[in-house]
């Protein structure tokens, strides 16, 4: 067990203190995707805009070995409600990148040519697209959308008189497919299922998806895994058991489906483990990894291993508990090993088609995160972006994990932040710069707050 506790020590450091205005200028990386051939990496970075009350996002492509990023699709407004969720996907031949972006009031799939040219909107879903995947041959899309709202509700929403009731039923989220030759889209799932994720089979002949029979806070713990033919037909249940069963992905050989599951437990605190089942169904196999919570994963090309990102569990204990590393899981014996070195939190990982490189967002202490590329053979990771070079001008202190024993002997972990020199203002007085004066004034301030808080 651990408690995240921040201690502050006064130190002197080079650079100037960072301000709120400085923070509002920092860019955050929202998504990362390596190209199928592994030679380029696409990423989206955003910056907050106070006048617009939103995050403004932009798409970039950078060579896998680093270099000057090239911005693409400057006229495209990437989906950013409430924060940017671009869902980057490369075309199989690497000629274009698609994102979720606004074309009208709802997000649609928009394709942006890498070599330049006008972006093309690929979908026209009336309620917008929530998630999507390109088919293996690049000729079709599968996406999740919502049934059109009733005319009365649409009118009330436009008039801003519609009342949203907590936990009220919402229109079903459906799985739809669309060929990119102009053929109208087709809906593959019934309105009794609320679809939340999807994955194409390697041959493009079917789609695995997860769905729950209702909406609401706990609906995810009733999700099951299904497979439906691309050309239409009845869906069959592959995993039909209680608890969360979501995020299915076919193995490259098409024989297995991996997914994230609470292994039959209907409990919001149950660990979300990586689980594998035969594509035709059967008894799922769970990889617990000491109760790690798996957040994202990718199959290796030979279908023998999976790269995953998880918090807690085997690779999130002790001094590493504040990290979220890349892990390689060997399916034959269940052995897992950390990939790469150094303390980091990994997000938005993707694997090249040949399995040689993984691109991801790497966040180290006191940073906003950068795009990193890891060589899977050597385990060496290389940072290839510098989205916030101005951070080097600030004095932001040092951060490290520390531990101590509680009264009952339990080991507690926290974060120690050594900040820059502080300026302490006594109530109604001048700035105190001497350390002894600062410590005494901090003690008095804490005593004053302790008296003030219970009475207010």
pLDDT digits (tens, 9 = 90+) for 311-332: 877 788 888 888 899 999 999 9
Q: How far apart are CA 188 and CA 192, in angstroms?
A: 12
**Phi then psi dihedrals of residue 437, to 5 deg:** -65, -40
Instruction: Categorize the per-residue pLDDT at 452 as very low, low, confident or very high, splitting at 50, 70 and 90.
Output: very low
| Cα 385-391-396 angle, rounded to 5 deg | 135
Instruction: Categorize the per-residue pLDDT at 374 as very low, low, confident or very high, splitting at 50, 70 and 90.
Output: very high
> Residue 215: left (phi > 0), alpha (psi -120 to 50), or beta?
beta
Q: What is the pLDDT of residue 393?
A: 86
Q: How far apart are CA 274 and CA 297, in angstroms?
A: 9
Q: How far apart are CA 357 and CA 326, in angstroms?
A: 12
Q: How far apart are CA 62 and CA 91, in angstroms?
A: 16
Instruction: Categorize the per-residue pLDDT at 235 as very low, low, confident or very high, splitting at 50, 70 and 90.
Output: very high
pLDDT at 107 over 90: yes
pLDDT at 14 over 80: no
Q: What is the pTM of this model?
A: 0.86
Q: What is the pLDDT of residue 455?
A: 38
Instruction: Categorize the per-residue pLDDT at 157 as very low, low, confident or very high, splitting at 50, 70 and 90.
Output: confident
CB 288 within 8 A of CB 240: no
Distances in whole angstroms, Cα of residue 131 to Cα of each of 99, 140, 217: 10, 14, 19
Instruction: Categorize the per-residue pLDDT at 4 as very low, low, confident or very high, splitting at 50, 70 and 90.
Output: very low
Q: What is the pLDDT of residue 342?
A: 81
Average pLDDT of every residue of the chain: 88
Q: How far apart are CA 263 and CA 283, in angstroms?
A: 11
Mean pLDDT, to the nearest integer, of 107-113?
Answer: 98
pLDDT digits (tens, 9 = 90+) for 23-48: 889 999 999 999 999 999 999 999 99
Q: How far apart are CA 272 and CA 296, in angstroms?
A: 11
């Amino acid at each position: 067990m651990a408690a995240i506790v921040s201690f502050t020590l006064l130190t002197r450091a080079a650079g100037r203190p960072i301000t709120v205005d400085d923070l509002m200028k920092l860019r955050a990386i929202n998504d990362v995707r390596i190209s199928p051939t592994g030679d380029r990496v696409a990423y989206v970075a955003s910056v907050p805009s106070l006048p617009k009350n939103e995050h403004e996002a932009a798409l970039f492509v950078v060579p896998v070995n680093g270099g000057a990023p090239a911005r693409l699709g400057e006229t495209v407004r990437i989906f950013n409600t409430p924060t940017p969720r671009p869902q980057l996907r490369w075309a199989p031949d690497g000629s274009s990148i698609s994102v979720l972006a606004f074309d009208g009031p709802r997000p649609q799939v928009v394709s942006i040519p890498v070599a330049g040219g006008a972006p093309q909107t690929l979908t026209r879903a009336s309620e917008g697209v929530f998630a999507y995947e390109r088919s293996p041959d690049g000729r079709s899309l599968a996406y999740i959308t919502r049934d059109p709202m009733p005319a009365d509700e649409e009118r009330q929403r436009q008039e801003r008189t519609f009342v949203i009731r907590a936990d009220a039923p919402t229109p079903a989220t459906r799985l739809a497919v669309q060929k990119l030759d102009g053929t109208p889209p087709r809906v593959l799932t019934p309105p009794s299922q609320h679809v939340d994720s999807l994955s194409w089979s390697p041959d493009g002949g079917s789609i695995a998806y997860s769905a729950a029979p209702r909406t609401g806070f706990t609906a995810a713990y009733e999700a099951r895994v299904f497979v439906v033919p691309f050309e239409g037909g009845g869906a069959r249940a592959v995993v039909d058991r209680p608890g969360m069963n979501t995020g299915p992905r076919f193995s490259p050989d098409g024989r297995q489906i991996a997914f994230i599951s609470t292994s039959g437990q209907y409990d919001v605190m149950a660990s979300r483990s990586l689980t594998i089942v035969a594509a035709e169904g059967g008894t799922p196999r769970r990889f617990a990894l000491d109760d790690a919570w798996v957040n994202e994963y990718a199959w290796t090309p030979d279908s023998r291993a999976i790269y995953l990102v998880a918090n807690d569990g085997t690779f999130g204990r002790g001094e590493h508990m504040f990290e979220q590393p890349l892990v390689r899981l060997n399916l034959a014996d269940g052995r897992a090993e950390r990939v790469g070195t150094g303390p980091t939190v990994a997000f938005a990982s993707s694997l090249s088609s040949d399995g040689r490189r993984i691109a991801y967002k790497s966040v180290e202490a006191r940073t906003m995160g950068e795009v990193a590329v890891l060589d899977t053979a050597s385990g060496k990771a290389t940072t290839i972006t510098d989205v916030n070079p101005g951070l080097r001008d600030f004095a932001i202190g040092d951060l490290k994990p520390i531990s101590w024993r509680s009264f009952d002997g339990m080991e507690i972990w926290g974060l120690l932040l050594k900040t820059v020199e502080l300026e302490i203002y006594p109530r109604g007085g001048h700035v105190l710069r001497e350390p002894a004066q600062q410590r005494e004034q901090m003690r008095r301030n804490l005593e004053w707050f302790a008296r003030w808080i219970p009475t207010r």
